[in-house]
C-alpha cells in the first residue's frame, strides 16, 4: 500500500492552508487524470477550467475557485508545493550502504560513512567519496576526484581525474565530467593538441542531466555554481564559469571561457560563442545564437540569431513573412514598373 495522508497533514508539511473538507488521500495526479482520493495541482492558468470538473479530493492552487467541488491546498507557489507533495507520496528509495564485491576500490581511495557503491564501479587512487554518497553501477571516479556527502551518481557516470563534486549533487546516467577541452594549436603540419591540465569543480546542490558533458579547464578551473541545474545533452566547454541557481535546457552548447552569471535561464538549443559574459538574471530564448556579451542593464530577455532583445525579435519575426512583398515593392519603386508590368 502507498502512503496515505489527511489533507491537513499535507498542508502542514508543504506550508499550505487547507480550504474545505479534511479528506484522506493516497496519491497525486495531473488535473485531467486525478481520481477521487487523489491530490492535483494548478499552476498554469490555461488549465483553470479543469478545476471545476476534476474528480480530485483537493487542488493545490494559489487561490480557491468558485464553483469547484473539491478542497484546496492554498500555497503562494503552487508548483513548489506540488513538488513537495510528490516527495510525500513517492519518497526516494536509497540502496543499502555497502560496497559491492564486484566494485573496484583502490586501497588509496577514501570512503565516507554509509556510502553505497554498486557493481562494476571503479574508484581510483586518491579519490574521496563523502558520507552517504551513492555511486550506482558502472560509475568511474578518477584519481584524486571527489564526490561530496549525500550526492547521488547514477549508472555509467564518468568523473575524470581531479573532478570535484559537491554535496547533495545529482548526476544522471552518461554524464562525462572532466574530459579534455577542445584545444588545438594550428601549425604547418596540422593541429597540435594543447594539454588540458585544469580541473572541474561542481558546487553543492547541482543537478546534471543525462549525457551532459563538462570539459576540464585548459589551465585553472571549469566551475558550476551552487544550485545550478543542467538538462540532458548539454555541452559545457573548458574554462566556463556558471554562477549559482542558473537553469539551462537541453542541447545548449557553451563555448570555452564563457562566464554565465547567477539566476540565468537558458532555453533549449542555445549556442554561446567563446569568451563572452552573460549577466546575472538574463533569460535566453530557445535556439538563440549569442555571439557577444550580454549585460542585465541592456535587456533581461534575449532571443534570435544573432540574439537581440526579445521585444525587438518579436517585431522582426512578425515582419519576416512580409519580406517578399516588401522586396517586390522596393524593386518596383527602383525600376518604375507597376505590379501588372512585372507580371
Rounded Cα–Cα distance for residues 61 and 79 (Å): 8
Tell me which residue has cell 594539454.
195
Provide the β-strand partners of residue 18. 73
At residue 309, φ and ψ (nearest 5 deg) are -50, 140
Give me the catalytic one of 106, 238, 275, 310.
238
CA distances from 4 to 21, 24, 90, 93, 167 (A): 16, 7, 11, 17, 31
From the CA atom positions of the chain, what is the Rg in Å? Answer: 26
Rounded Cα–Cα distance for residues 222 and 240 (Å): 5
Q: Which of 276, 275, 301 is nearest to 288 (CA)?
A: 301
Grid coordinates representing 89?
507520496
Rounded Cα–Cα distance for residues 264 and 229 (Å): 11
Cis, peptide link before residue 177, omega less than 30° from 0: no
Is 238 catalytic? The answer is yes
The helix (run of H) or strand (run of E) holding residue 73 is: strand 71-74
Handedness of CA 92, 96, 210, 266 (dihedral sign): positive
Say which residues have a Cβ less than 8 Å from residue 13's Cβ, sequence separation at least 6. 5, 84, 88
Rounded Cα–Cα distance for residues 225 and 57 (Å): 40
Rounded Cα–Cα distance for residues 100 and 115 (Å): 11
Provide the β-strand partners of residue 223. 201, 241
Under DSSP, the state recorded for 294 is B
Grid coordinates representing 128?
574521496
Catalytic annotation, residues:
238
Amino acid at each position: 500500500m502507498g502512503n496515505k495522508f489527511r489533507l491537513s497533514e499535507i498542508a502542514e508539511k508543504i506550508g499550505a492552508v487547507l480550504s474545505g473538507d479534511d479528506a484522506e488521500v493516497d496519491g497525486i495526479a495531473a488535473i485531467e487524470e486525478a481520481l477521487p482520493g487523489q491530490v492535483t495541482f494548478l499552476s498554469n492558468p490555461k488549465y483553470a477550467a479543469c478545476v471545476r470538473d476534476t474528480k480530485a479530493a483537493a487542488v493545490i492552487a494559489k487561490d480557491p475557485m468558485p464553483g469547484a467541488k473539491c478542497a484546496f491546498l492554498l500555497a503562494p507557489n503552487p508548483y513548489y508545493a506540488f513538488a513537495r507533495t510528490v516527495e510525500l507520496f513517492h519518497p526516494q528509495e536509497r540502496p543499502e550502504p555497502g560496497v559491492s564485491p564486484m566494485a573496484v576500490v583502490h586501497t588509496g581511495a577514501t570512503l565516507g560513512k554509509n556510502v553505497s557503491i554498486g557493481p562494476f564501479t571503479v574508484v581510483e587512487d586518491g579519490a574521496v567519496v563523502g558520507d552517504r554518497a551513492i555511486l550506482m553501477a558502472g560509475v568511474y571516479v578518477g584519481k584524486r576526484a571527489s564526490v561530496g556527502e549525500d550526492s547521488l551518481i547514477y549508472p555509467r557516470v564518468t568523473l575524470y581525474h581531479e573532478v570535484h563534486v559537491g554535496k547533495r549533487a545529482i548526476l544522471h546516467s552518461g554524464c562525462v565530467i572532466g574530459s579534455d577541452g577542445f584545444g588545438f594549436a594550428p601549425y604547418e603540419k596540422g593541429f597540435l593538441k594543447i594539454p588540458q591540465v585544469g580541473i572541474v569543480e561542481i558546487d553543492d546542490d547541482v543537478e546534471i542531466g543525462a549525457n551532459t558533458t563538462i570539459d576540464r579547464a585548459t589551465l585553472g578551473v571549469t566551475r558550476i555554481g551552487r544550485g545550478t541545474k543542467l538538462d540532458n545533452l548539454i555541452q559545457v566547454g573548458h574554462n566556463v564559469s556558471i554562477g549559482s541557481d542558473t537553469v539551462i535546457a537541453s542541447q545548449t552548447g557553451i563555448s570555452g571561457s564563457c562566464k554565465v552569471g547567477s539566476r540565468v535561464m537558458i532555453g533549449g538549443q542555445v549556442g554561446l560563442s567563446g569568451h563572452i559574459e552573460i549577466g546575472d538574471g538574463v533569460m535566453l530564448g530557445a535556439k538563440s545564437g549569442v555571439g557577444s556579451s550580454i549585460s542585465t542593464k541592456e535587456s533581461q530577455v534575449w532571443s534570435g540569431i544573432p540574439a537581440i532583445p526579445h521585444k525587438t525579435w518579436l517585431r522582426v519575426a512578425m515582419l519576416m513573412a512580409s519580406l517578399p512583398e516588401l522586396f517586390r515593392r522596393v524593386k518596383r519603386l527602383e525600376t518604375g514598373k507597376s505590379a501588372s508590368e512585372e507580371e
